Amino acid sequence: MDDLLYLRAAGTSLVLDLSGTGLPRIVHWGADLGALAPGRLAGLRAADVAQTVANALDEPVPLSVLPQQSAGWPGTPGLSGHREGSAAAPAFTVRTRSVREESRRLTVDAADADGGLALTLEAQLTDAGLVRLCAAVTNTGDDPYHLAELTLALPVPAQATELLDLTGRHLRERAPQRHAFTVGTHLRENRRGRTGSDATLLQTAGEAGFGFRSGEVWGLHVAWSGNHRSLAERTPDGQAVLAGGELLLPGEIRLAPGATYRSPWIYGSYGRHGLDELAARFHRELRTRTRHPSSPRPITLNTWEAVYFDQDPAGLTRLAHAAAEVGAERFVLDDGWFRGRRNDRAGLGDWYVDADVWPDGLHPLIDTVHGLGLRFGLWVEPEMINPDSDLARAHPDWILAASPSRLPPASRHQQVLDLARPEAYAHILRRLDTLLREHRIDYLKWDHNRDLVDAAAHHQTTATYRLMDELRARHPQLEVESCASGGGRVDLGVLERTDRVWTSDCIDPLERQRIQRWTGLLLPPELLGAHVGAPVAHTTGRLHTLDFRAGTALFCHFGIEWDLTTASPAERARLAEWVALYRTLRPLLHSGTVVHGDHPDPALWIHGVVSGDGGRAVFALVQMATSVQSPAGRVRLPGLAPEADYHLSPLPPGDRPEGPFASPLPWWERGVTLPGRVLAEVGVQAPTLFPERLVLLEAVRS
């Protein structure tokens, strides 16, 4: 039927009701419904119309992807604003629709003639089974329109009775929190001017008790690196939605006649059997991008926790040689190389090599690094400025502030450079472009070390996007890492322009197991920077074995953040073994399906990666704390082909089960061969490990 659009991809169905002149309404988003004839689609729509009840509107309220207060929606409106005090709720009428069958994409043009607004809505079901929504609103009136919010919504069914979102802080990003999906609005707002360490990557709703491998789940992500909001809302009439968009501060978007505001993309993912399936859709989608990293992810040595601000050319040269000896492939010079930067109190904005520290410039170190066969990377923080800098003294008006009479509170002794100001933008672009042209720099670690306080963020975010895009256009081979005090800018907006994220400034492996577990709901392993630190973690003071540190970093984009010139020969040799394993495994780790076991013991975690053809898998058994029971009991290994036989065995160098078990496991020495179904449904006896230890298992199809 022409007024019903049925889209299917990768186990997901999306049914859109396009009847009448109203905005599109989602009849179904979730499990694949198979081949449905037009008559069956009409029946599905008819079966979805609710009754009218006492003291309600005479007709059921149509919930569109942009919920309209004017249509009777009692929850959060999709679009609101005012025209110099006149704030009538928009009422859009559809003028045209178009469908691109090959890309499963719908475009709708609508207008509110009385309100002087035009609206373009886009909805798509991607090859990975993700739903994408965005909208653009244009002021067609004769006077300015002040846009307050533009929020797009995806309905979820009554079975979604539990919510999962994430919070956190610096050094402890991505902490999960679960609660009932009750009547009302669960609202997550970010006003930090960047994605935020406390941001929820996903607003997720699902069946009660859902896990990684069980329960239906629906999740929403806002692909935007500035202020944003997401919400889960249930009304007393039984309707429930996940919704999100950019969070606009009062007066931030003032549309002059003819001007247009375009929302960020909103992504929705569905999992029939738990969070792993929901996450796998994001992973597949990201891996199909034309800009997705396609070369093997190089082993990176970053100098920050090795030397901090104590940059010495001779010492860094020795560190580069040590990095090459253990098998590193990229050397990144972190903070401290530029003019006046002896600590974090000065220098930001003065992007010139400090001649006092580097009298011969960076070229000798860069030449050494390249001569060792490594790529060279450099740390920058282009969006920031220290008041103690030549740039701030020359142009104090370039500091981003809500009022010219006062500065925002300082953070890390720095302020924000107003990139929406054309002359500030041009200066930073010129300095970065000059650095890249004058030096053989392959990689930028692009940091963002403070929140935006007391300042509008929309224009700063769009200017940052333009700056990244322009540098990438001028230097096509350049790779960029998104860092923001660690994991403070992790979203699909910035990942359109970068090649990985720095997952957290905390590289304590115990904390990283948690952080990487939940960041992986959105991003695949190859986009998550994870480094092997020194024996004692800089941010927590914990002492961990090298095997636990390296085994934790293995399942992401592996790197090193340790002064290897102080490591013993035995430590360097052991690290080289892990580097060699990563090189062997990265084709699997960075293309396969990430899986997690829903193990009943909260102290024992199981996660792994299974190849796309099911021929090989690697699993980690991670003892996060002491267990109530001992021995550990059986662990199930998910994701393998059910009917295929697999030989399961410990994988060196992660094959040392350090733990208080009295006798060796019978199967450990030679391995065991079992069908994938048995490994997933019955499992194998696991070694009892000391806390904060792990072992690796490899399953190879027989």
Task: List the domains of the chain with CATH numbers.
Answer: 60-287 (2.70.98.60), 300-381+422-446+476-586 (3.20.20.70), 594-701 (2.60.40.1180)
**SS3 state of residue 65:** coil
Tokens (6 digits) for 336: 């401290």
pLDDT, one tens digit per residue, over 185-202 is 999 999 999 999 999 999
Angle at 76 between CA 183 and CA 227, to 5 degrees: 110
Asked about 48 being catalytic, the answer comes back as no
> Which residues pair with residue 399 across a beta bridge?
417
Q: Across-strand partners of 500?
A: 481
Phi, psi (deg, nearest 5) at residue 171:
75, 0
Share of the chain above pLDDT 90, in %: 93
Token couple for 564: 């290897």
Neighbours of 156 (CB within 10 A): 29
Provide the pLDDT for residue 100. Answer: 95
Supply the DSSP symbol for 653: T
Q: H or E stretch including 379?
A: strand 375-380
Marked catalytic residue, from 334, 350, 505, 508: 505
Q: Is the pTM higher than 0.85? A: yes
Q: Residue 663's pLDDT is what?
A: 78
Give the Cα separation of 391 and 39 in Å (integer). Answer: 68
Q: Is the peptide bond before 653 cis (omega within 30 degrees of 0)?
A: yes
What type of residue sits at position 469? D
Find the length of the chain: 702
Handedness of CA 501, 696, 582, 553 (dihedral sign): positive
201 forms beta bridges with: none
Q: Where are the beta strands (DSSP E) in 168-213?
A: 175-180, 184-190, 203-206
Q: How are strands ordered across the β-sheet holding 240-246? A: 152-155, 240-246, 228-234, 184-190
Q: What amino acid is encoded at 492 in this protein?
A: L
Q: Report the alpha-carbon distance of residue 180 to residue 192 in Å, rounded.
A: 27
The identity of residue 297, as a single letter, is R
Q: What is the pLDDT of residue 662?
A: 63
106 backbone dihedrals φ, ψ, rounded to 5°: -115, 135
Residue whose entry in the numeric block shows the structure tokens 């699993």: 619
Count CB atoms within 10 A of the CB of residue 477: 7
21-32 burial: b if 16+ Cβ within 10 Å, else e: ebbbbbbbbbee
CB-based contacts of 294, cutoff 8 Å, min separation 6: none
* Alpha carbon distance 322, 573 (integer Å): 11
Residues of the chain with pLDDT under 70: 1, 661-662
Instruction: Count other C-beta atoms under 10 Å from residue 440's C-beta.
Output: 13
Cβ atoms 468, 433 nearer than 8 A: no
Single-letter residue type at 309: F
CA 63/CA 308 separation, integer angstroms:
54
pLDDT of residue 141: 96
Query: SS3 sequence, 317-361?
Result: HHHHHHHHHHCCCEEEECCCCECCCCCCCCCCCCCCECCCCCCCC
Question: CB–CB of 490/201 below 8 Å?
Answer: yes
The C-alpha atoms of residue 581 and residue 672 are separated, in whole angstroms, by 22
* Peptide bond before residue 631 is cis, with ω within 30 degrees of 0: yes
Phi, psi of 584 (to 5 degrees): -70, -40
Q: 3-class SS at 398?
A: helix
Place of tokens 């244009």: 138
pLDDT in the model for residue 455: 83
Determine the Cα–Cα distance for residues 53 and 474; give it in Å rounded to an integer: 61
Active site residue 447: yes
Predicted confidence at residue 660, as pLDDT, reads 76
Instruction: Report d(CA 620, CA 554) in Å as an integer.
Output: 10
Q: Which of 587, 598, 555 is nearest to 694 (CA)?
A: 555
Interstrand relation of 117-125 and 253-255 (parallel, antiparallel or unpaired): unpaired
**DSSP labels, 67-128:** --GGGT--S--SEEEEBTTB-PPP--EEEEEEEEGGGTEEEEEEEETTTTEEEEEEEEE-TT
Confirm if 483 and 500 have CB atoms less than 8 A apart. no
For residue 57, give both structure tokens.
């509107």
Is residue 322 within 8 Å of 565, Cβ to Cβ? yes
Strand-pairing partners, residue 543, are 536
Distance between CA atoms of residues 181 and 183, nearest Å: 7
Catalytic: which of 447, 451, 499, 508? 447
Beta strand 228-234 with 184-190: parallel, antiparallel or unpaired? Answer: antiparallel
What are the beta bridge partners of residue 660? Answer: none
Output the pLDDT for position 661.
64
217 residue type, one letter: V
Report how far residue 478's alpha carbon sits from residue 44's, in angstroms, rounded to the nearest whole number.
50
Beta partners for residue 189, in sequence order: 229
Which structure tokens are listed for 83? 């025209």
Place of tokens 């990377």: 377
Distance CA 320, CA 317 (A): 5
Strands 300-302 and 152-155: unpaired
**CA–CA separation, 53 vs 31, rounded Å?**
29
CA distances from 235 to 63, 151, 160, 411, 593 (A): 12, 17, 13, 40, 37
Q: How far apart are the first and last CA of the chain?
A: 49
Q: Which pLDDT belongs to residue 1?
A: 53
Measured in degrees and rounded to the nearest 5, phi and psi for residue 656 equal -105, 100
Separation CA 640–CA 312 (nearest Å): 50
